[in-house]
Chains A and B, each alone.
Chain A
Amino acid sequence: MTRLLTTSTLALVLALPAVAQTDCAAGKTIEEGVLTIATGNPAYYPWVLNDAPESGEGFEAAVAYALAEEMGFAADQVSWTRTSFDQSIQPGAKDFDVNLQQFSITPERAQVVDFSVPYYTSAMAVLTTGAVVEAGAEPTVASLKGLVWGADANTTAVPMLTDLIAPERQPLLYGDNVDVTAAMQAGQIDAALFDLPTALYLSAVVLNDGVLLGQFPPERSENPDQFGLLMEKGNPLKECVDAALGALKDSGRLAEIEATWLQDATGVPVIE
């Protein structure tokens, strides 16, 4: 039903002539009248479905279109581009207005780039395989300490691993999700730490015999993993983005999008 509503709203919006931007965003985008949004290359499920953000399918794609609408950009006034993590933090002019690809907000990163208010707060989840569970791994910190850990080196999972679990052996780090799962498949690592939606996807689709052993709810961590939209340092658009996100939160639209695209994770046991 929600899907049908979204689609019809989209169709309606598309049928209308270009909507005027709210006063806030006018003249603050790279290209007048167009909001350029960046995502990852490739963009992963469930954040963007089928690596096609233009469809508005997937949590971040849906958030992007809702945000654009709130800021007064029609769907056809949204243009997509792709960046790597390094491209988004390099100094100099950016080729996007906002960038959303599960960037965790940290005070150190905020010295170099600007973040919006968070649009999602993620639990961290332990991804492992059935073989490791059979060998006796349990969702307790004591049991997790003894495993060989892996993580994506470009994520905040690395410090979280030290904070939450403090493994006995030094973790192995990889360049992206695919390499982490390859190492797990090869038996080189027992477990890896991911944000919960990514872990759900990897365990269900990518990894043979994948198991979600447990989750650390956000309130467990001192600095929970909060995702924000990344912008160039000092971008005047930030206040507009923050205001629009605030409105989406207040109206319940953001929670609605989350319910549509992100799986309910209450079935994953909480780690003691």
Chain B
Amino acid sequence: MPTRREIFEARQRRRANLVAAGSTGLVVLAIVVLVPLAPGWEAVQRSFFNGEVFARTFPGLLNAFLMDIAIFAWCAPLIAAAGLLLAIARDLRAPALTPVKLAATAFIDIFRGLPVILVIYLIGFGIPGLGLPRPWNSPYLWGSLALILVYSAYVAEVIRSGIESIHDSQRAAAQSLGLSPRDTMRFVILPQAVRRVVPANMNLFIALQKDVALLSFIGPVEIFRQAGVYKSLLANFTPYVGAALIFLAITIPATRYADHLMSRQKRARS
């Protein structure tokens, strides 16, 4: 037998659900009905949402997306490793290692402050222009390096924020147990720090997944460039919509997963 309070709350909930469904339905209806009434809708539909063009170009786009995945796959581990090293270098406390610390700081400042596309152009065309022989002048090689440089600077900053979030008393405690500074970092600080910043790093890797497309500027035919070729040949923007859908199919689940990790962490800490 539900109490009066329970009955009241159930009714309130039902009402809230009804209102939410009603207002969402209204907005969707307005979009579905009103947008096609715009005078240019037919032209927009032909240019951006053309079923025939979509069907014709989608397999080629999927195929080109394999290139994005490959570039991502060899960049991501290198970025993680380089970012970790940079973060540790920035946190060095021994006075003799100050030059290393300064170099790491300068590196992070420079590459975090430059637009990715600029670094890709400079490194992707500039270094091979010095006259390197094949295969050492490959745009895949130098373009990937550009991504690694920029993203390892971001990752280093995220990891550093993790390191700084571990209270100094833990270092003191570790040292009083006889651990060397190196072991303190390895066995006490890093395991906690890295775990804390996993969600933030997930977001960076989602961004990287999208920025891989920038490599197309120096030659590789990945999904963005392939869509551009179709766009040019068919004078139609639908291939870009197709490419966007493929990106979303990867990035939305990844973002949800990052959100999930973050909320789990929050629960664990509270």
Contact = CB atoms under 8 A, between A and B. Distances in A.
Q: Do A and B come from one complex?
A: yes
Interface of A: 85-86, 89-92, 106, 108-109, 111-113, 150, 153-156, 158-159, 170-175, 179, 182-183, 185-189, 233
Contacts of B46: 91, 112
Contact of A92 (B40, B132, B221, B225): B40
Contact of B137 (A155, A156, A173, A188): A188
Interface string B226-269: 00110111111100000000000000000000000000000000
Contacts of B125: 179, 182-183, 186
B143 to A, nearest CB: 10
B219 A187 contact: no
A153 B40 contact: no
Interface in B75-112: none
Contacts, number: 92
21 contacts: A85-B232, A90-B237, A91-B40, A91-B43, A91-B47, A92-B43, A108-B235, A158-B229, A158-B232, A170-B221, A172-B220, A173-B219, A173-B229, A175-B217, A183-B125, A185-B129, A186-B125, A186-B137, A187-B133, A188-B219, A233-B43
Contact of B221 (A86, A156, A172, A233): A172
A88 to B, nearest CB: 9
Contacts of B231: 86, 89
Interface in B116-147: 125, 128-129, 131-134, 137-139
Given A185-B129, A186-B129, A112 B236 contact: yes
Interface residues of B, number: 32
Contacts of B134: 187
A189 B219 CA distance: 9
Given A185-B129, A188-B138, 9 more contacts: A89-B47, A89-B235, A91-B47, A92-B43, A109-B235, A174-B217, A179-B217, A183-B219, A188-B137
Given A91-B40, A172-B221, A179-B218, A112 B139 contact: no
What secondary structure prevails in chain B residues at the interface with A?
A: helix
Contacts of A154: 228, 232
Interface of B: 40, 43-44, 46-48, 125, 128-129, 131-134, 137-139, 216-221, 225, 228-229, 231-237
Contacts of A185: 129
B232 A155 contact: yes
Nearest to B45: A91
A91 B44 contact: yes
A185 B113 CA distance: 29
A209 B26 CA distance: 65
Contacts of B236: 89, 108, 112
A109 to B, nearest CB: 4
Contacts of A89: 47, 231, 235-237
A187 B220 contact: no
B173 to A, nearest CB: 54
A172 B235 contact: no
